[in-house]
Copies of this chain bind each other. A is one copy, B any other.
Amino acid sequence: MEKVTQMDIVRGMKASQLVDAMARSGVFGAGRIAKAAGIAEDMIRDKQCKVFFGLAGAMVPGGMKNIIIDMLENGWIDVFVTTGANLTHDVVEALGYSHYQGCCNVDDKELKKKKIDRIYESYMPNEVYEKMEDFFSEIYDGLSREKSIKEFLWRLGEQLKKRNKKGNRSLLVTCFEKKIPIFCPGIADSGIGLMMWGNLAKGKSCEVRAFDDLKEILSIAWDSKKAGVFYVGGGVPKNYIQQAMQFSPKSAEYGIQITMDRPEPGGSSGAELREGISWGKMNEKGKFIDVVCDATIALPLIVAKLKDDINTK
């Protein structure tokens, strides 16, 4: 047994050294952050391993966008699955808008008067929808001809790249440029969905199929020699990757989950990773860790450790 080494905080210490100290203390939330960083490093360094990254929760309004773009650009993510909401907020920023630091103890009626949409403590001016409407009207015909959601999203990224004069960083643009498969089964449930509806309602059609992407994500899983999963939040992104893992030859051999959802109510979002062993989603000899922490705290710490340890730009 290893001793719990009481953590020492040293003036000027690096974030990665803080994670090292957490590894030496080794228990509770700190220990789990450190284990997650270690498993993440292992799965990224393992050249045979395909990394499936699931992103749920308001992570673009929450300030995590660039961290994830860095992960995509560094080649740390092979398959990216997320929610329509995060992609909508990504479009918003790519079109030149920002989110703002707000407050949860606020009178929402006042915000409504000021036309500010609240995402807990993050604010977004409602006017972004007008600009999005113009943008989607212009590009609708191309988008609507795609057959899979992945192709739809790559095309959206391509179009955003063209409009994006300020060089704002974008998840969608990055996935398009790097040809990283990006999946979003619940895409209709988002501002992007509403933009598509705006044109459908005018009598236009849209060819994008609901089930077609399954062929691609399951093929990637099937063909992967090894697989790893990295979940920020639960929801559809986690579950969609989990079901793909059943088709990976050895299931997932690495796993990280960062969520504040509890397991006891029985839902997938809060389920511990080890539950996946019973399903054949997780390899029974795999390395897994559940991190019970706000992702806006846990993810930066983990990535700070990864950046210091893996040779990156």
Q: Which residues of A contact B (CB under 8 A)?
A: 1-18, 21-22, 24-33, 56-58, 60-67, 70, 85, 93, 98-102, 104-105, 108-109, 111-112, 116-123, 126, 149, 169, 185-191, 193-194, 196-197, 200-201, 206-215, 218, 233, 235-236, 239-240, 243, 260-271, 274-280, 284, 292-298, 300-301, 303-304, 307-308, 312
Residues of B within 8 A of A263 (CB): 104, 120
Query: Do A300 and B18 form a contact, CB below 8 Å, given A29-B265, A121-B266, A206-B212?
Result: yes
Residues of B within 8 A of A21 (CB): 300
Asked whether, in the complex, the Cβ of A304 is within 8 Å of the Cβ of B206, the reply is no
This chain: how many copies in the complex? 4
State which of B58, B149, B186, B303 has its C-beta within 8 Å of the C-beta of A266. Answer: B58
Residues of B within 8 A of A56 (CB): 267
Asked whether, in the complex, the Cβ of A218 is within 8 Å of the Cβ of B197, the reply is yes
Query: Do A209 and B211 form a contact, CB below 8 Å, given A189-B240, A275-B118, A296-B30?
Result: no
Asked whether, in the complex, the Cβ of B66 is within 8 Å of the Cβ of A8, the reply is yes
4 additional A-B pairs beyond A12-B14, A25-B63, A185-B186, beta carbons within 8 Å, are A21-B300, A28-B62, A29-B265, A117-B279
Residues of B within 8 A of A233 (CB): 265, 267
Nearest chain B residue, comparing its CB with the CB of A271: B120
Asked whether, in the complex, the Cβ of B268 is within 8 Å of the Cβ of A64, the reply is no
Asked whether, in the complex, the Cβ of B108 is within 8 Å of the Cβ of A26, the reply is no
Query: Do A277 and B109 form a contact, CB below 8 Å, given A26-B63, A298-B297?
Result: yes
List 15 interface pairs A-B (beta carbons < 8 Å), by A numbering: A1-B100, A9-B307, A10-B307, A18-B301, A25-B62, A28-B296, A29-B264, A117-B279, A188-B210, A189-B243, A190-B243, A193-B211, A233-B265, A235-B235, A260-B292
